[in-house]
Amino acid sequence: MTEEGGFARKGSIRGVRLTNCRQEVTMRKIIPEQAEQQHKNDQKEKGTKEPFDASIFEGMFPPDKKYVTQVSLAPPWIEAAYPELSPVSMSDFAHCEQTKDSMFPGCQASRVAQDSNLGVVDVMHLRLCGNEDEQGWTRLNEATNSVLPDYDDEEQTDIMDG
């Protein structure tokens, strides 16, 4: 595992393939950035000009700790099914609300493809502590390529809005 992150264990959870959990030390960067963005949104909404105080996060994230910032899931049979799928997939992100089980809202990404019966097949799902941005799309692509190394082929088309 590198200083900037890496992948934890792979395995199965109730018939779903856990492809990776990304652990990063950048949580101490992500949370203040999300808080600052929320502060800016609140300023626009309320019309206030109070400056953002990043010092409230000092010491909150010990440097020797790593935090899980992404979990990706793929069907256990996707490697075998992939050659039979249409070379066109569709990917998108949905923003997640904060719940009692998830401290941070983040995003969920889904990538699906079409099979020969015109059905939709799950290729990859990603729960990410982050946003739908270049880094989010990169993480979705990395997770997909960790299961399907041939996915990033010139014959594969992915329809997305990113």
Rounded to an integer, what distance in angstroms lies between the CA atom of residue 145 and that of residue 143? 5
pLDDT by 10s per residue, the chain, length 162? 333 444 444 444 444 555 555 555 466 677 777 788 888 888 888 888 888 888 887 777 777 777 777 888 999 899 999 999 999 999 999 988 776 665 667 889 999 999 888 889 999 999 888 788 888 888 899 999 999 988 888 888 999 886
Q: Tell me the CA distances in angstroms from 34 to 88, 96, 97, 130, 137, one per residue in order.
A: 33, 14, 14, 8, 18
| The model's pTM | 0.65
